[in-house]
Amino acid sequence: MQIQSTRFGLLEVDEDQIISFPHGLPGFQGKRDFVFLPYQNESPFAYLQAVDEPNLTFVIVEPFTFFQDYSFTLEDSVLTELGLSDENPPKIFNIVRIPEIIKEMTANLLAPIIINWQTRIAMQFILEKSPYTVRHSLFPQDSPGQEEKGGK
């Protein structure tokens, strides 16, 4: 299958790279299918490229690399809807905001992306009564060597 992307050009992707969001993403309800593109081997970062919108790409991150204590409880209805269990645990990602200065990069911990890796079905789950926000810094403010510039 071929997908056009503003960021990556023409992509040839396998069906098993597609992650489907039956309910869409908040703010992007019409966009249900995304290609999962790892950034690099062993990197916690990846991209979600919309299948039918070349200009829509999200940078996502596995949060536990940066936030070891990140935790929340999924409702039973979410576990059932996604077909998750102890034998089939979810993959968790968070959408990243990349400002011009890399050290100011943040992750949306309030609304994790929950993926059933076996079925490739996902949802963005908004946590209620949570201490998390939509902008948690990925890098401590005193972290040296983070002066590089990023993109928007």
pTM for this structure?
A: 0.89
DSSP 34-94: EEEEESSTT-SEEEEEESS-TT-EEEEE-GGGT-TT------HHHHHHHT--SSSPPEEEE
How many angstroms separate the CA atoms of 19 and 120, rounded?
Answer: 5
Which backbone phi and psi does 127 adopt, to 5 degrees?
Answer: -75, 140
Residue 16's pLDDT is 87
Could you tell me the domains of the chain? 2-137 (2.30.290.10)
76-109 pLDDT tens trace:
999 999 999 999 999 999 999 999 998 999 999 9
Nearest to 28 by CA among 64, 4, 57, 6: 57
- Please name the amino acid found at residue 81: E
Checking if the pLDDT of 148 tops 80, the result is no
Query: Band of the pLDDT at 147, cuts 50, 70, 90?
Result: very low
First-residue to last-residue Cα distance in the chain: 28
How confident is the model over 16-29, as pLDDT tens digits?
A: 899 999 999 999 97
31 Cβ contact list (under 8 Å, min separation 6): 21, 24, 25, 50, 52, 53, 56
Query: Is the CA virtual torsion 74, 76, 82, 87 positive or negative?
Result: positive
Pair of tokens at residue 120: 């490739």
Q: What is the pLDDT of residues 26-80, one digit of tens each?
A: 999 789 999 999 999 999 999 999 999 999 999 999 999 999 999 999 999 999 9
What pLDDT is attached to residue 142?
Answer: 57
